[in-house]
Amino acid sequence: VQLVESGGGLVQPGGSLRLSCAASGSISSISPMGWYRQAPGKERELVASITSDGSTRYADSVKGRFTISRADTRNTVYLQMNSLKPEDTAVYYCTLTNNGRPYWGQGTQVAVSS
């Protein structure tokens, strides 16, 4: 299983970014997917997750600003990030749990700064 992320970058506070993650390989149709992030000096934390039937979960810090969605193929997941804040600066990692085993992407940097 491979995960490839894209869409990170530098944005001003209040701006928006959309992250994408495409999964390939032998993947179960019921594999949940999600996004984590890790800021310098901090532990990796869950940002948002989505199941195969579309159920979502968000960290309190991003509720109302971020939206996770999944393509019809179920192997691509998106994270729409609006009203970005400097504290959203981190490396964002896509994750997929396939048959009980977690897989991670290489990470994409998001920097929010004026």
Average predicted confidence (pLDDT) for the chain: 94
Mean per-residue pLDDT, 62-88: 93
Of 37, 40, 38, whose CA–CA distance to 48 is shortest?
37
Over residues 42-68, the pLDDT tens digits come to 999 999 999 988 999 999 999 999 999
- Name residue 11's beta-bridge partners: 112
pLDDT in tens, 95-110: 999 888 999 999 999 9
Is the dihedral angle over the CA atoms 23, 24, 30, 31 positive or is it negative? negative
27, 43, 39, 40: which is closest to 95 by C-alpha?
27
Q: How would residue 36 be classed by pLDDT, with cut points 50, 70 and 90?
A: very high
User: CA 61 to CA 76: how far, in whole Å?
Assistant: 24
Of the CA atoms within 13 Å of residue 72, those in its CB half-sphere come to 0
